[in-house]
């Protein structure tokens, strides 16, 4: 049956009733909606990913610092950046904190390389904060972004030039990264 002589508000009311009829069902005199909304949301938390060898979950190597080919007669300071093994990748705004221990041969707060009998003092610092040494057990904040990167570390030694026996000098520093 054609609709004649209807005003615009009446047509709008008819359209609304027709549209709502598709989403409402009447059962035993009760109106039951057949369409409803539900909310969808997500909370993204700050965090980091440590990338290393596949499936490695313990003993992650954050890199190594190697002073190679040093003559026992050389004097002065030498600085070497960390050679990367593991890389960090963090969400934007993650509060990343780094702590290093004193190493296996520390004397007080002074880290030292050892060949078993002799010692060679060294410092570790952030490459992003000048050459301020990172003291053992002192937590520092570091900026790690969404692009994978190595820890921004470097080490410096002051070579005495004499009195240091030739040999392999080593140390192991435990690194703790938290976020």
Residue 146: which CATH number? 2.60.40.1090
Q: Is the pTM of this model over 0.75?
A: no
Number of domains in the chain: 1
Residues contacting 2, CB < 8 A, separation 6+: none
Expressed in angstroms, the distance from the first to the final Cα of the chain is: 71
Q: Is residue 22 part of a domain?
A: no
> Would you say 79 and 127 are in contact if contact means Cβ atoms under 8 Å apart?
no
Q: Each residue's pLDDT tens digit in the chain (179 positions)?
A: 444 554 545 444 545 554 544 556 666 777 877 788 899 999 988 898 887 766 666 777 778 888 888 887 888 888 888 876 788 889 988 999 999 999 999 999 999 999 999 999 999 999 887 777 899 999 999 988 888 888 888 999 988 888 888 889 999 999 998 99
Boundaries of domain holding 64: 48-178
């Amino acid at each position: 049956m054609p609709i004649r002589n209807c005003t615009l508000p009446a047509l709008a009311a008819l359209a609304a009733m027709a549209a709502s009829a598709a989403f409402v069902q009447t059962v035993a005199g009760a109106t039951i909606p057949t369409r409803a909304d539900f909310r969808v949301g997500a909370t993204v938390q700050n965090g980091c990913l440590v990338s290393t060898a596949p499936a490695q979950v313990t003993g992650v190597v954050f890199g190594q610092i190697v002073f190679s080919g040093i003559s026992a007669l050389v004097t002065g300071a030498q600085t070497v950046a960390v050679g990367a093994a593991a890389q960090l990748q963090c969400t934007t705004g993650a509060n990343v904190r780094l702590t290093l221990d004193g190493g296996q041969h520390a004397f007080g707060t002074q880290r030292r390389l050892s060949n078993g009998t002799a010692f060679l003092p060294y410092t570790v610092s952030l490459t992003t904060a000048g050459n301020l040494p990172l003291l053992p057990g002192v937590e520092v904040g570091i900026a790690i972004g969404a692009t994978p990167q190595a820890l921004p570390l470097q080490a410096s030694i002051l070579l005495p030039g004499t009195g240091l026996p030739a040999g392999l000098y080593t140390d192991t520093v435990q690194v703790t990264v938290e976020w």
